[in-house]
Structure 1
Amino acid sequence: MTGASTTPPVIVGAGPAGVRAAQALAAHGLRPVVIDEAPRAGGQVYRRQPAQFGRSSRTLYGFEAGRADALHASFDALREQVDHQPDSLVWNAQDGWLDVLHGPTQRTRRVPFEQLIVATGATDRVLPVPGWTLPGVYTLGGAQVALKFQGCAIGQRVVFMGTGPLLYLVACQYAKAGAQVAAVLDTARFADQCAALPAMSTQPAVLLKGLYYVGWLRAHGIALHGGVRPLRVLGSERVEGVAWHDGRVERTLECDAVGFGHALRSETQLADLLGCRFAFAPLHRAHLPERDNAGRSSVPGVYLAGDGAGILGADAAEWAGERAALALLQDRGLQVDARRAQALERKLARVAGFRAGLERAFPFPQDWASRAPDELVVCRCENVTAGTLRQTVREAGADELNRLKALCRVGMGRCQGRMCGVAAAEVLAHATGQPLQQVGRLRGQAPIKPIPMQLAAAPEGLSS
């Protein structure tokens, strides 16, 4: 889109990318519509506690308290300059409009747009283990939400398991909040992290924070185990412990809750519904929507910013949100600061190198699919096991993810593949002997998240 428009730009998501995008648009005289699922701006990383809670920023965000406070203050200062629509889920999108469900009223409305910034963020990347469907098992992000937004721990004695920087951050947050952290089980090896130090040293402040989390946990007597292979979550009615292999022997540990995850994956369903072109990104081990250095997608008028287009972290999300807003303004025919735009692109390029270092420090466990037992539930919504996926490949010749979905219902449940899609793709690639990029990705379907049944059954309720 080029030239003047009277339609306000729309931003989906009020995390770091969405807030900085809104700030840049408002600074140029526009009044953007900001649609966000949460009741208050901040996103997952800077999620705000309910107004009646009185915990300090330092308690909630640790080292990131300053950045969190600055982001919150920036958005609060825009109160009269933006049309903020909180508690609102964008559940469908097509060319020129969004379907939005307002949670408190349970009513849905249609929001038109000519220019749209998609800043949908990320969620946990899940690789299931036997027992992961037991009560007391949470993703790392879910464990964070409980602590930040609900003011409670997921259990009295918690094990954190998986890999990635979030593993140590959440463990540290729990321990500092007074929870008993029984152990941190990391599939990455110490040697992996040492080998990645040169690449990660390009962002020394971030590296030092990570080293601090590890050091703090060790100094407070919390057991850290690296190079592990998670075997199962123990228990019959709920979590009673975990079992893992340490490279030599099988070990077990009692606990009543587990937080697990293998880094993050981008939330791409909205970009998919909008028709954005996707390409396989080896670093992220995923198909991601394409964008240029400024954040423009393959669809005119649609811009991508933050972790929803590739995991780069909260700082990079702020820069990407501002850069996408500048691109939108330029395409609208408004004058922008070219030097600022170039500076933002340079910052984002430097972070990309650091991101490659993180992937080396916390590598994806590529042998997971070969070790997943047939009885392992991959899709909990539809109770589809790894054995069912393999049987479908053998008997029906399914060699593409959406074909597999049609034949055995993997990814057809409430999560629409958001939780099981990564694991299903890994099992399919291993079962067929294909590279991961060739098995495809689950196509986005509306509603991208669950909505009330009566709305889906009553088309006349789609606008209000």
Structure 2
Amino acid sequence: MSEPRIVIVGAGPAGTRAAETFVRHGLRPTVLDEAPRSGGQIYRRQPASFRRPARAVYGFEAGRAEALHAAFDALAGRIDHRPETLVWTLRDGTVHALPAMGGQSQAFPYDALVLATGACDRVIPFPGWTTAGVYTLGAAQIALKYQGCAIGDPVVFLGTGPLLYLVAYQYAKAGAKVAAVLDTTSFGTKLAALGRMLAVPQAFLKGVYYLGWLRSHGVAIHEGVVPVRAEGTAAVTALVWRGADGAERRTECTAVGFGYGLQSETQLADLAGCSFAYEDHSRQWLPEADGDGRSDVTGVYLAGDGRRVRGADFAEMGGELAALAALKDLGRTVPEPRMAELRRGLDRGLRWGVAMQTVFPVPHHFVAGLPPETVLCRCEGVTVGDARHAVTGLDAKEINRAKALSRIGMGRCQGRYCGLTAATVLAETAGAAPDAAMRLRGQAPVKPVPLVRQEPATREGGA
């Protein structure tokens, strides 16, 4: 009998550990990944010609990053690794992917599919956020890690969550001037949830270190902040914000990095036919899976932050566990004690994820105060006022109907950056519960793909 066909989407922490597990059990999985090298976003590798030490790129996570890279490199020849390959749709038990270097879409039928699609920045717009020089925190970090450059100098970092302080620390450590760190979470909120932060003490201590280091090096840190607007015409020149005392302030800068934590990338799980459920604390619809990562679609398994945001360490556990579940379903003998250990680890990760949402809550209340002219969907130029009108003038209270009538989420990002906020705008305008607007359904292609014109064959048979 032929060996089962295994496909893994993503070569980050979850995808790497899944591939490693399949290889350890004698299988040769196909690993499809958009990046030129493994590592995912959190452990993104610098170009091969760069020579910065791992400590300079990953900080405290250098050891984990190097271990993950080494684990993937050790699989060379034992996996079918397809880097720079975009998975653009799934249907009928087949993954369809397009090589970045050109060529026709390729089909990868599977008996077991592990979706390790990761996460992206969570965005709440503010006036001027589309001005040149305003980036997400993830984009700011990628520029520093992968390209060895800062997004500007001086830079203001805005938002909430562990990534805010990590990116600010990395920039300051690299020599960039950080004009200010503006945290939208108040000190009182953090203090009230301090006990929950101790669920993962190592992460808590890292955060304390970053905060202390920034303060000791003269970086201004303000808590309980509300962004007002980014100023500048050709490019950003300053960020205007209100402090916890209600006073309006202006900080000059040449760039802004902002974000409110992460959201799961769920489009492929949607196209695979997975059921979704609403998660109250994150206000996101997420694909359903059991404790081992099995979705309700036969042969489809979910792992890492693409299933639920829990961080890189727990993503590694999820990748291994999903692979073991797939192997078990394929009739292979798997180590049950190891599976039980991984389940316990992921349960801790779930508690940690909920704790982070409590300590660093996404400021959903900002949405109600957004001026109507604020751009909501930058791909299509749809404003907050347009979204509100979709409810009051077009009776479009559900987000897919609003998309059809106003073009919210119809652009190249497919609603990754506007979808969650748009749903909040619709629900608030309708006076409904946060989940009432539902979610944007995944559509193929999940990211833009080129249309290739097929030349007619010549008389000799050539193209």
TM-score interval, smaller chain: over 0.9
Structure 1, 296-305 or 414-423: larger mean CA deviation: 414-423
Deviation at 1:458, TM superposition (A): 6.3
- Match for 1:143 among 129, 140, 143? 140
Deviation at 1:283, TM superposition (A): 2.1
- Match for 2:277 among 271, 276, 279? 279
TM-score, normalised to structure 2's length? 0.96
Deviations 1:375-421 (A, max 9, x none): 00000111000001111211111110101101100000111101111
| Residues 459/66 of structure 1: CA separation in 2 closer, same or farther (3 Å cut) | farther
**Given that residues 284 and 310 in structure 1 are in contact (C-alpha distance below 8 angstroms), is that contact kept between their aligned partners in structure 2?**
no
**Given that residues 284 and 311 in structure 1 are in contact (C-alpha distance below 8 angstroms), is that contact kept between their aligned partners in structure 2?**
no
1:57 equivalenced with 2:54 (yes/no) = yes
* CA–CA separation in structure 2 for the residues paired with 1:441 and 1:103: 29
1:74 equivalenced with 2:71 (yes/no) = yes
* CA–CA separation in structure 1 for the residues paired with 2:361 and 2:210: 19
1:179 is matched with: 176
Secondary structure of 2:239's match?
A: strand
How big is the alpha-carbon RMSD for the aligned residues of Structure 1 and Structure 2? Answer: 1.3
Deviations 1:204-258 (A, max 9, x none): 1111011111111111110011000011111111100000111321110100000
**Given that residues 237 and 252 in structure 2 are in contact (C-alpha distance below 8 angstroms), is that contact kept between their aligned partners in structure 1?**
yes
Deviation at 1:459, TM superposition (A): 12
Deviation at 1:106, TM superposition (A): 4.6
* CA–CA separation in structure 2 for the residues paired with 1:185 and 1:95: 47
* Structure 1 consecutive aligned stretches of length 4 or more whose deviation exceeds 4 Å: 457-460
Deviation at 1:115, TM superposition (A): 0.8
1:113 is matched with: 110
Deviation at 1:295, TM superposition (A): 0.2
Deviation at 1:6, TM superposition (A): 2.4
1:124 equivalenced with 2:121 (yes/no) = yes
* CA–CA separation in structure 1 for the residues paired with 2:283 and 2:175: 36
* CA–CA separation in structure 2 for the residues paired with 1:458 and 1:267: 32
Deviation at 1:339, TM superposition (A): 0.2
- Match for 2:241 among 239, 244, 247? 244
1:108 partner amino acid: S
Deviation at 1:105, TM superposition (A): 2.5
Secondary structure of 2:105's match?
A: strand
Deviation at 1:193, TM superposition (A): 1.3
| Residues 458/193 of structure 1: CA separation in 2 closer, same or farther (3 Å cut) | farther
Deviation at 1:79, TM superposition (A): 0.5
* CA–CA separation in structure 2 for the residues paired with 1:222 and 1:459: 59
**Given that residues 295 and 327 in structure 1 are in contact (C-alpha distance below 8 angstroms), is that contact kept between their aligned partners in structure 2?**
yes
1:354 equivalenced with 2:349 (yes/no) = no
2:225 is matched with: 228
1:345 is matched with: 343
1:22 partner amino acid: A
* CA–CA separation in structure 1 for the residues paired with 2:285 and 2:455: 32
Deviation at 1:152, TM superposition (A): 0.7
1:216 equivalenced with 2:213 (yes/no) = yes
- Match for 2:13 among 11, 16, 21? 16
- Match for 1:439 among 437, 440, 446? 437
1:310-459 equivalences in 2 (<5 Å): 310-452=308-450, 454-455=451-452
Deviation at 1:182, TM superposition (A): 0.5
2:296 partner amino acid: S
Q: Which has the higher contact order (CA 8 A, sep 6+)?
A: 1
**Given that residues 195 and 360 in structure 1 are in contact (C-alpha distance below 8 angstroms), is that contact kept between their aligned partners in structure 2?**
no
* CA–CA separation in structure 2 for the residues paired with 1:173 and 1:194: 25
1:153 is matched with: 150
**Given that residues 24 and 325 in structure 1 are in contact (C-alpha distance below 8 angstroms), is that contact kept between their aligned partners in structure 2?**
yes
* CA–CA separation in structure 2 for the residues paired with 1:187 and 1:12: 34
**Given that residues 5 and 332 in structure 1 are in contact (C-alpha distance below 8 angstroms), is that contact kept between their aligned partners in structure 2?**
no
1:184 partner amino acid: V
Deviation at 1:110, TM superposition (A): 1.4
For these two proteins, the number of residue pairs brought into alignment is 455
1:314 partner amino acid: A
1:53 partner amino acid: F
**Uncovered stretches (5+) of structure 1, i.e. residues with no partner:** none
- Match for 2:34 among 33, 37, 41? 37
1:205 is matched with: 202
Deviations 1:44-87 (A, max 9, x none): 00000000000000000000000000000000001011110000
- Match for 1:102 among 80, 91, 99? 99
TM-score, normalised to structure 1's length? 0.96
**Given that residues 3 and 27 in structure 2 are in contact (C-alpha distance below 8 angstroms), is that contact kept between their aligned partners in structure 1?**
no
